[in-house]
A and B are shown apart, each in its own frame.
Chain A
Amino acid sequence: DTEVTQTPKHLVMGMTNKKSLKCEQHMGHRAMYWYKQKAKKPPELMFVYSYEKLSINESVPSRFSPECPNSSLLNLHLHALQPEDSALYLCASSQDPPGQGALEQYFGPGTRLTVT
């Protein structure tokens, strides 16, 4: 089973709201990722967690706050977002951290976020 699940599927939030995106995998993967994807563009890496520790932050604004409560869960906390943050947010996982062992990532279906 190579399933990564994400909730919610769609989210509409105002610029003053606080919300969270959730991601879960039960494949025993040791790395998890957050990506942002704008229309007609490839995914842009935001964060990487390796062995539940933040290993890569691609200079993401602090209004995005990742959290990895355990090896199966990954959250993305959202606060004071801007309309330009509207996008598809994708979670992914890989068996091994970047550059180690198997490199392929498995993606969830994404959360379509609209900031009004």
Chain B
Amino acid sequence: GDSVTQMEGPVTLSEEAFLTINCTYTATGYPSLFWYVQYPGEGLQLLLKATKADDKGSNKGFEATYRKETTSFHLEKGSVQVSDSAVYFCALGVSGNTPLVFGKGTRLSVIA
């Protein structure tokens, strides 16, 4: 079945460090890929998305490129801030009567 695998957390970085959170997927068909962010005590917010191979999603300094050859959608940010501390979920959506499939989430802590 369809699945998403994210790197285990927690990830702890100093402010202004470079961030990579790995995400790989398994899917039948041609999925759309998403990153969601959940700040403490809040719901999930859609951070960025990509709907086809080689698309790059970007938002708030975060980027992810849909790589079909490596079935990956890694999240990157060049310089993290304390305010980026949150849990990040990678997710995929495919055709058919199947809602989003989420990864387990990666907790990011950024220290000043």
Interface residues of A (CB under 8 A from B): 2, 4, 6, 33, 40-43, 45, 48, 55-56, 90, 92, 97-100, 103-110
What is the count of residue pairs linking A and B with beta-carbon distances less than 8 angstroms?
59
Asked whether A42 and B99 contact (CB < 8 A) given A103-B32, A110-B42, A110-B43, the answer is no
Which of A40, A41, A104, A108 is within 8 Å of B93, CB to CB? A104
Given A104-B34, A104-B46, A104-B49, check contact A42 B98 (CB 8 Å). Answer: no
> A99 to B42, alpha carbons, bound, how many Å?
26
The answer on a CB contact under 8 Å between B99 and A109 is: no
B36 to chain A, nearest CB (A): 8
Cα(A40)–Cα(B38), bound, Å: 11
Q: Which residues of B contact A104 (CB under 8 A)?
A: 32, 34, 46, 49, 93
Which residues of the other chain, A, contact B94 by a CB distance below 8 angstroms? 99, 103
Question: Chain A CB within 10 Å — which of B34, B94, B99 has the most?
Answer: B99
Instruction: Enumerate 12 A-B pairs (CB-CB under 8 Å) in ascending A order.
Output: A41-B104, A41-B105, A43-B102, A48-B99, A90-B44, A98-B96, A98-B97, A103-B34, A103-B94, A103-B100, A105-B46, A107-B36
Looking at the assembled complex, report how far the CB atom of B85 sits from the nearest CB atom of chain A, in whole angstroms: 15
Please give me the residue from chain A that is nearest to B4 by CB atom: A42
Cα distance, A25 to B42, chains bound together (Å): 17
B89 touches A (CB below 8 Å): yes
Chain B interface residue number, banded: 20 to 34
Q: Output the least CB separation between B101 and chain A (Å).
A: 9
| A42 & B102 in contact (Cβ 8 Å cutoff) | yes
Within 8 A of A (CB), among B25-50: 32, 34, 36, 42-46, 49
Cα distance, A45 to B93, chains bound together (Å):
14
Is B93 in contact with A103, judged by CB distance below 8 angstroms? yes
Q: Considering residues A2, A33, A98, A106, which has the most beta carbons from chain B within 10 angstroms of its beta carbon? A: A98
Question: Whole-angstrom distance between the alpha carbons of A105 and B93 in the complex?
Answer: 10
Closest-by-CB residue of A relative to B96 is A99
B43: A residues at CB distance < 8 A? 4, 6, 90, 107-110
A41 CA / B103 CA spacing, docked (Å): 9
